[in-house]
Amino acid sequence: MAHEIKIPSVGESITSATLGTWHKADGAYVKEGEVILTIETDKISTELETDKAGILKHLASEGDELDIGAAVAAIEEGDAPADSGEESEPVEAAPQEETDSPSAESEEKPDIKVTPVARKIAEDEGIDLASISGTGTGGKITKSDVVGASESVSTNVAKPDSVQETSSPSPEKRTTRTKLSPLRRKIATHLVNAQQNAAILSTFNECDMTNIMALRKRVQEDFVSRHGVKLGFMSFFIKAVVDALQAVPAINAQMEGDEVVQNHFYDVGVAVGTEKGLFVPVVRDCDDKSFAEIEQDIIDYAGKAREGSIGLSDLQGGVFTITNGGIYGSLLSTPILNPPQSGILGMHSIQQRPVAIDGEVVIRPMMYLALSYDHRIVDGKEAVSFLVRVKDCIENPERMLVGA
């Protein structure tokens, strides 16, 4: 009797998952505990392991979206076939479907390595896979290889002399329609809900980065030597935010129905951009951590986010968020709240600008700061006071060291 492998529950708010990549071929022998596929949800990617040994049967294809609890594979329990060897073979190609055509097997070489999605596109477009050079791992033909070959064929098709050239592109080539990924859909829904369910207002200021840049330059070598990580700007801003949250506790609160929940802890989310989208892992207990511990947490989270191994627990429970658009060149922006939080700080690029100091115009490295807040529970005076406190801490970093 076949043992079914089902999509597991990976969070209370997640109802479906997309099959990302098969790591074991259909019909391959797998051992207990082996990773057979990766699934992607609207928040994280998860690897599924088999809890039985036997012959693997695919019940879904890469790209399929399945409900939580749906069967994605089956295992025919038993010992490994005599000629299977110790290790099961990695996925090289999707299984050939049965066909009535007697020439089906001769149309394609059996040793061609191709992803299931690429094979399907090639079949639909009538493209010979043997004529395509794969750019994937081990020469595997990928979706982009087949799409590129299709466009090349369309461009190079010889036209009869009677056909006149035209400058108008083919209508079907003017747009590309792509289904939103689960993560992108979740981000879209999250942002729309944030604007519909909160009274978002933003206030701005700018800070002089001279002192903090000079401090980093003085201590950077010793800091790296002692802690093994660089001293970045983010740890200063996190500490400044903690200081400001303690000074203006209204920002460290959130709405729940008709109640205001006041937080007495300081878990700060740090936005991390990846190819899959924006993740906001939470640095815990920032009031108790050193600059080095905060920097190490940020490095660890960034690595996990880009590898797709970040967990739901890493993304939950923050009381405030910091986003740094400056790394992409943003001069000024109005960040959107990360519900149910009541505040988010936007950092921006550092620019050398003329400023007036003690009656003289001097050139200083300046950064614009933006605070977006929920005006339902945060008054303008409190928001401005919070941002001014952050500015003071950044311009006078010794305050954070002595608690002034």
- Catalytic residue, chosen from 67, 222, 288, 379, is 379
d(CA 404, CA 398): 8
Query: Range of 115's domain?
Result: 108-151
Residue 268 scores a pLDDT above 90: yes
Same domain, yes or no: 257 and 341: yes
| pLDDT at site 107 | 43
Name the residue among 335, 286, 279 with its Cα closest to residue 307: 279
Same domain, yes or no: 302 and 236: yes
Read off the pLDDT of each residue in 89-110 and give the average, rounded to a whole number. Answer: 44
Per the domain annotation, does 269 fall within a domain?
yes
Cβ atoms of 326 and 295 within 8 Å: the answer is no
Residue 171 scores a pLDDT above 70: no
- What is the percent of the chain with per-residue pLDDT over 90, rounded to a whole number? 43
H helix runs in 254-397, sequence order? 291-307, 312-315, 380-395
| pLDDT at site 86 | 47
d(CA 60, CA 71): 8
Query: Domain containing 74 — which CATH number?
Result: 2.40.50.100
Same domain, yes or no: 140 and 75: no
- Catalytic residue, chosen from 3, 23, 190, 375, is 375
Query: Domain containing 114 — which CATH number?
Result: 4.10.320.10
Same domain, yes or no: 117 and 57: no
At residue 103 the predicted structure's pLDDT band, cuts being 50, 70 and 90, is very low
CA angle in degrees (0–180, nearest 5) for 248-232-212:
65
Q: Which carries the bigger pLDDT value, residue 18 or residue 343?
A: 343
Cβ atoms of 63 and 117 within 8 Å: the answer is yes
| pLDDT at site 136 | 65
Residue 172 scores a pLDDT above 50: yes
Give yes or no: 375 in active site.
Answer: yes
Cβ atoms of 207 and 391 within 8 Å: the answer is yes
Q: Which of 48-57, 114-123, 186-195, 199-208 has the lowest mean pLDDT?
A: 114-123
Residue 336 scores a pLDDT above 50: yes
SS3 state at 140: coil
Provide the number of structural domains found in the chain. Answer: 3
Residue 16 scores a pLDDT above 70: yes
Q: Which carries the bigger pLDDT value, residue 187 or residue 25?
A: 25
Residue 87 scores a pLDDT above 70: no
| pLDDT at site 95 | 46
Please identify, among 129, 151, 173, the residue that sits at the C-terminal boundary of a domain.
151
Residue 149 scores a pLDDT above 80: no
Say what angle helices 210-227 and 380-395 make with each other, to 10 degrees: 60
Give yes or no: 379 in active site.
Answer: yes
d(CA 119, CA 125): 10
Same domain, yes or no: 14 and 139: no
- In the chain, the amino acid numbered 357 is I
Cis geometry, peptide bond prior to residue 340 (ω within 30 degrees of 0) = yes
At residue 215 the predicted structure's pLDDT band, cuts being 50, 70 and 90, is very high
Read off the pLDDT of each residue in 342-359 and give the average, rounded to a whole number. Answer: 96
Per the domain annotation, does 184 fall within a domain?
no
Query: Domain containing 244 — which CATH number?
Result: 3.30.559.10
Name the residue among 120, 113, 114, 2 with its Cα closest to residue 57: 2
Residue 283 scores a pLDDT above 90: yes
Read off the pLDDT of each residue in 294-321 and give the average, rounded to a whole number. Answer: 88
| pLDDT at site 138 | 65
Looking at every residue in the chain, the average pLDDT score rounds to 82
Per the domain annotation, does 97 fall within a domain?
no
Per the domain annotation, does 92 fall within a domain?
no
Q: Is 277 exposed, middle or buried (0-12, 13-18, 19+ CB in 10 A)?
A: middle
Q: What is the pLDDT of residues 244-257, one digit of tens each?
A: 999 999 999 999 98
Please identify, among 119, 151, 183, the residue that sits at the C-terminal boundary of a domain.
151
Per the domain annotation, does 160 fall within a domain?
no
| pLDDT at site 348 | 97
Residue 109 scores a pLDDT above 60: no
Q: Which of 25-34, 256-265, 371-380 has the lowest mean pLDDT?
A: 25-34
Same domain, yes or no: 369 and 226: yes
Please identify, among 151, 170, 185, the residue that sits at the C-terminal boundary of a domain.
151
- Could you tell me whether strands 320-324 and 268-270 are parallel, antiparallel, or unpaired per DSSP bridges? parallel
Per the domain annotation, does 187 fall within a domain?
no
Same domain, yes or no: 76 and 138: no
Same domain, yes or no: 368 and 221: yes
Same domain, yes or no: 262 and 394: yes
Same domain, yes or no: 19 and 66: yes
Same domain, yes or no: 114 and 15: no
Same domain, yes or no: 76 and 112: no
Find tokens 């190079």 and name the residue.
Answer: 156
- In the chain, the amino acid numbered 301 is Y
Residue 132 scores a pLDDT above 50: yes
Q: What is the pLDDT of residues 23-70, one digit of tens each?
A: 888 888 988 888 888 887 766 777 888 888 889 999 988 878 888 888
Name the residue among 58, 59, 345 with its Cα closest to residue 207: 345
Read off the pLDDT of each residue in 331-343 and give the average, rounded to a whole number. Answer: 94
Per the domain annotation, does 89 fall within a domain?
no
Q: What is the pLDDT of residues 195-206, one digit of tens each?
A: 888 999 999 999
Per the domain annotation, does 236 fall within a domain?
yes
| pLDDT at site 401 | 77
At residue 137 the predicted structure's pLDDT band, cuts being 50, 70 and 90, is low
